[in-house]
Structure 1
Amino acid sequence: MHDEYNALVKNGTWILVPRPVGINLVRSMSLFKHKFHVDGTLTRYKARLVANGSSQQLASSTYLLQQVITSLHNEFDMTDLGALNYLLGISATRHSTGLFLSQKQYAIELLARAHMTNCNPSRTPVDTDSKLGPEGVLVQDPSLYCSLAGGLQYLTFTRPDISYTVQQIYLYKHDPHEPHLAALKCIICYIQGTLDFGFHLYSSTTISLVGYTDADWAGCPLTRRSTSGYYTNHIVIDIHFVRDLVTAGQVRVLHVPSRYQYADIFTKGLPSALFEDFRSSLSVRLPPA
């Protein structure tokens, strides 16, 4: 313990200063462990001095934040641009309910790049027909297809509602055919009708995260295999385990109708009414008034 303490003092790990008036101290504690050689024999005893986090209170101090900014100015040649409003093509607008992120200008540039500025809008980015395959005539300008596919992928940062169909066209970026280009143009027509939409991040007093998942069942139109997880021997064991719990009355397995399968928006094309409802659940909507 003394060796570790002396090493900290020698390295100038801390500076002793008078305690400011009205400031509480954060207690510290020592953690001990053993360090071993490769063969498992003891090398030395280790001690680590850490802050006792349970005695800290989370808060926000405008004064301390300004101190950080001032210190950065003293260390680096930099300019304070104020609150975030635009970064890497993403517009950020703060509202009383949270933060609204939008890539409207970037989407307009994509429309111009695709020569579809005056195209008719579409209510959904993909139809409900079967998924894309490798069939069809090769596109005349693969470089334009790749450029637009990459641009749409960047747009998904604030538009998760197009994630599924963008992922579908991206699968054929190396060898695009006319059906893939038609699907890409369908996405752009959808963007045309939703240019003002963005990603609304709501303020929250909790840190809990609710997630939804869904299986891409028989996602490949050629092999009828799922995108992942088609080797399912291990799942059989889990099925028997769940079945036993159901028999014992400890678990109830409930059917969830498609109307409430929110993850479906990431796995397949949906009817327009259902798609718009699920899109709203993703907080993709018009900016707050």
Structure 2
Amino acid sequence: MHEELHALQENFTWDIVPRPPGVKPIGCKWVYSVKLNSDGTLNRYKARLVALGNKQEYGVDYDETFAPVAKMTSIRTILAIAASQGWSLTQMDVKNAFLHGDLAEDIYMTLPPGLPSSSEGVCKLKRSLYGLRQAPRAWFEKFRTTIIGFSFTQSQFDSSLFIHRTSTGIVLLLIYVDDMIITGSDHAAIQRIKHQLQDSFHMKDLGDLHYFLGLEVCSDSKGIFLHQHKYIEDLISLAGLTSATPVDTPLEINVKYRRDEGDLLSDPLLYRQLVGSLNYLTITRPDISFAVQQMSQFMQTPRHLHLAAVRRIIRYLKGTSSRGLFFPTGKPLSLIGYSDADWAGCSDTRRSVTGWCMFLGPALISWKSKKQSRVSKSSTESEYRAMSTACSEIIWLRGLLAELGFPQDTATPLFADNTSAIQIATNPVFHERTKHIEVDCHSIREALDNHVISLPHVTSQLQLADILTKAVTRPRHQFLVNKLMLLDPPHQFEGGCQ
């Protein structure tokens, strides 16, 4: 606490002034946490002074809010590129990041507990403080201005990604609130940028990337292995299933879950905690994406049957807790996609489920399992809608890859197993069968005409997005998991990250 107060005072975070008449200062409190390493050992104890931003009023002492949160697809894309090109990955952390932001509003705060008792008055904040509504936005604006001053440009496709091109290569910097990943082909420029950041902010150089936002990263000459083993172990403990027997698939096949089936849970807290944790786990586990999407529909009024299904997902994870995504070294960076749909898959609404996945070379970088926004009149229509949303992701990824220096020179193949949907996409004539489909779905035709995508047919047996639309049998599940490059740790990583 003394170190935190010293840092606040060194940063000129506030001035102690008499309380202005008619002003009701917001409060503050201390928040304590224990930081752990990826192996569960103690890293450090942490105390942070937090302003009670819930007492702020919109339009009075704050306006717009924003947090610099990188897209998970961007993180996986950069890891896939770094693995392919053999780039090193460095991690840095900003100490007291939010304290660097400058405030434009007049905000008064009560004196924090721990200041000398002789102090009187209130704190007039000059810098942002954790807990303030505008603190993330103020910090990011300060960081953005600083990093652009170092000749970086902000990505047009992810506002948390910054790119610096030099005469000998490129440097990529991705920020997630106050954690940074730095990689690229120009090692000298990377070292220079790190020194510049340390001169501008209170930085902590964490060395090679190993543990980032609960994601464990293992690297060697063969590639990068990304997993969430520790996170899964904590989730199993939370669910009370440490002694449970593992199962082979996340969901039982041919079982439809309904909103009003079974008895309500008397306390839905545990269900919501487990599903929320499972949602974060889908960052590296596409094999549970469909199951988690199904269980997320019942967050409002979960029932005992739904909790049993969630526990089955966790029992599946118990048997595959070390499984993760592998990004191999030296592979070509060509983008390909797969699109699928399960027609009228929702028992309550009869809406279909969209599933798609995108590969950069052999590495899986993006996927989605989501219920469609409206009912489709045929399986062809549901497949066509799925192809359209997958096409939007391809366009975004192609733009991002071109910006990173890896443009896709040929049309991106989007594999689909429904020949009727492919024919609708390639047919320029609107007729009775398609006029009820929204115009935005037909944007896939424009992408096809401009050679942004191609639409090759794939058999249903080889449709890799199938795992994102329905529960499948154990042999089918294992086949698709292997095709997604979702592997148990290679032998060189079995002892953990080195």
State if a TM-score over 0.5 links the two structures: yes
| Residue identity opposite 1:171 in structure 2 | Q
What does residue 293 of structure 2 align with?
167
**Which of 307, 315, 333 is the aligned partner of 1:189?**
315
**Which of 102, 111, 114 is the aligned partner of 2:236?**
111
- Pick closer, same or farther for the CA change 1:224–1:79 going to 2, 3 Å: closer
- Pick closer, same or farther for the CA change 1:216–1:141 going to 2, 3 Å: same
Does residue 1:180 correspond to 2:180, yes or no? no
What does residue 12 of structure 1 align with?
none
Q: Spell out the pairing of 1:216-231 with structure 2 (5 A cutoff).
A: 216-226=342-352, 227-228=371-372, 230=375
Name the CA distance, whole Å, in 2 between partners of 1:271 and 1:240. 31
**What are structure 1's unaligned runs of at least 5 residues?**
1-52, 245-252
| Residue identity opposite 2:243 in structure 1 | N
Q: CA deviation at 1:288?
A: 1.4
- Which SS does the other structure have where 1:268 is aligned? coil
What does residue 486 of structure 2 align with?
284
**Which of 97, 100, 112 is the aligned partner of 2:225?**
100
Work out whether residues 200 and 284 of structure 1, in 8 Å CA contact, stay in contact via their aligned partners in 2.
Answer: yes
Q: Spell out the pairing of 1:77-156 with structure 2 (5 A cutoff).
A: 77-134=202-259, 135-156=261-282
Q: CA deviation at 1:132?
A: 1.3
- Which SS does the other structure have where 1:119 is aligned? coil
**Which of 413, 417, 424 is the aligned partner of 1:239?**
424
- Pick closer, same or farther for the CA change 1:179–1:254 going to 2, 3 Å: same
| Residue identity opposite 1:79 in structure 2 | K
1:197-238 Cα distance to aligned partner (Å, 9 max, x none): 112122355332111110131112134332425356997996
Q: CA deviation at 1:131?
A: 2.5
Work out whether residues 125 and 186 of structure 1, in 8 Å CA contact, stay in contact via their aligned partners in 2.
Answer: yes
Name the CA distance, whole Å, in 1 between partners of 2:222 and 2:291. 30
1:231-281 Cα distance to aligned partner (Å, 9 max, x none): 56997996396499xxxxxxxx98744321211100001111110111112
What does residue 40 of structure 1 align with?
none
Work out whether residues 95 and 288 of structure 1, in 8 Å CA contact, stay in contact via their aligned partners in 2.
Answer: no
- Pick closer, same or farther for the CA change 1:131–1:96 going to 2, 3 Å: farther
Name the CA distance, whole Å, in 2 between partners of 1:115 and 1:231. 40
What RMSD over aligned residues (CA atoms) do the two structures have, in Å? 2.9
Q: How many residues align?
A: 228
| Residue identity opposite 2:337 in structure 1 | G
Does residue 1:201 correspond to 2:330, yes or no? no
| Residue identity opposite 1:273 in structure 2 | P
- Which SS does the other structure have where 2:344 is aligned? coil
| Residue identity opposite 2:229 in structure 1 | K
Of 254-263 and 87-96, deviating more is 254-263
What does residue 473 of structure 2 align with?
271
Work out whether residues 257 and 347 of structure 2, in 8 Å CA contact, stay in contact via their aligned partners in 1.
Answer: yes
Q: CA deviation at 1:186?
A: 0.7
| Residue identity opposite 1:258 in structure 2 | S
1:108-141 Cα distance to aligned partner (Å, 9 max, x none): 1111111111100001101111321111111233
- Which SS does the other structure have where 2:335 is aligned? coil
- Pick closer, same or farther for the CA change 1:231–1:279 going to 2, 3 Å: closer
Name the CA distance, whole Å, in 2 between partners of 1:139 and 1:268. 26
Work out whether residues 121 and 192 of structure 1, in 8 Å CA contact, stay in contact via their aligned partners in 2.
Answer: yes
Work out whether residues 236 and 242 of structure 2, in 8 Å CA contact, stay in contact via their aligned partners in 1.
Answer: yes
What does residue 22 of structure 1 align with?
none
Q: Spell out the pairing of 1:2-151 with structure 2 (5 A cutoff).
A: 58=169, 60-134=185-259, 135-151=261-277
| Residue identity opposite 2:424 in structure 1 | I
Name the CA distance, whole Å, in 2 between partners of 1:272 and 1:282. 15
| Residue identity opposite 1:137 in structure 2 | D
Name the CA distance, whole Å, in 2 between partners of 1:186 and 1:91. 24
**What are structure 2's unaligned runs of at least 5 residues?**
1-164, 171-184, 353-370, 385-419, 430-454, 492-498
Q: CA deviation at 1:175?
A: 0.8
Work out whether residues 282 and 289 of structure 2, in 8 Å CA contact, stay in contact via their aligned partners in 1.
Answer: yes
| Residue identity opposite 2:195 in structure 1 | T
- Which SS does the other structure have where 2:204 is aligned? coil
1:186-205 Cα distance to aligned partner (Å, 9 max, x none): 10110110011112122355
Q: CA deviation at 1:167?
A: 0.7
Name the CA distance, whole Å, in 2 between partners of 1:255 and 1:69. 48
Work out whether residues 145 and 181 of structure 1, in 8 Å CA contact, stay in contact via their aligned partners in 2.
Answer: yes
Work out whether residues 244 and 315 of structure 2, in 8 Å CA contact, stay in contact via their aligned partners in 1.
Answer: yes
Name the CA distance, whole Å, in 2 between partners of 1:141 and 1:240. 48
Name the CA distance, whole Å, in 2 between partners of 1:262 and 1:61. 36
Q: Which has more radius of gyration?
A: 1
- Pick closer, same or farther for the CA change 1:240–1:273 going to 2, 3 Å: closer
| Residue identity opposite 1:283 in structure 2 | M
